[in-house]
Amino acid sequence: MFRVTRRYEFAASHRLHSEQLSEDENRRLYGKCNNPYGHGHNYVIEVSVRGPSDEATGRAVDTALLDGLVKREVVQPFDHHNLNKEIAAFGDVVATSENLGIEICRRLKRNWKEVFPGEWPKLEKIRIGETARNIFEVGADEIE
């Protein structure tokens, strides 16, 4: 069994702000990330899949197919967009990197069988580098 991880990048802006909290609570909790005008990141996304090596190809995943799926479902919709204002999933959810990981995972899982109809490969995890110090990871089996 092999794990294959591919890295992708996109730039996007967001504002950390919860409608369930007061303005003071939002400022206290999110600090400078609560700026009303938002702020941006150059996100680094790692998509890990696992599967056995195919006898005919010697590969665990067709990386061109994976790249196409990630480009269509993640990079193109998010790159150079405001997550809060332009991505419907964040209309009522705080645009944290944790929630971004959940959304990316949902998008990939929703379209996975269209691209990979067999038993393998399986989506294993999403890892998001928001900054050099802030890295978030979510297992695909943890997300519906």
List pLDDT tens digits, range 107-128: 999 999 999 999 999 999 999 9
In the CATH hierarchy, which fold is given to the domain comprising 2-142?
Tetrahydropterin Synthase; Chain A (3.30.479)
For the chain, domain boundaries = 2-142
At residue 79, φ and ψ (nearest 5 deg) are -65, 125
- CA–CA dist 93, 84 (Å, integer): 9
Percent of the chain surpassing pLDDT 70: 100
Q: Which pLDDT score is estimated for 144?
A: 83
Q: Read off the pLDDT of each residue in 11-32 and give the average, rounded to a whole number.
A: 96
- CA–CA dist 66, 84 (Å, integer): 26
User: What digits encode the pLDDT tens for the residues 67-120?
Assistant: 999 999 999 999 999 999 999 999 999 999 999 999 999 999 999 999 999 999
DSSP label at 18?
Answer: -
Residues belonging to the active site: 33, 80, 130
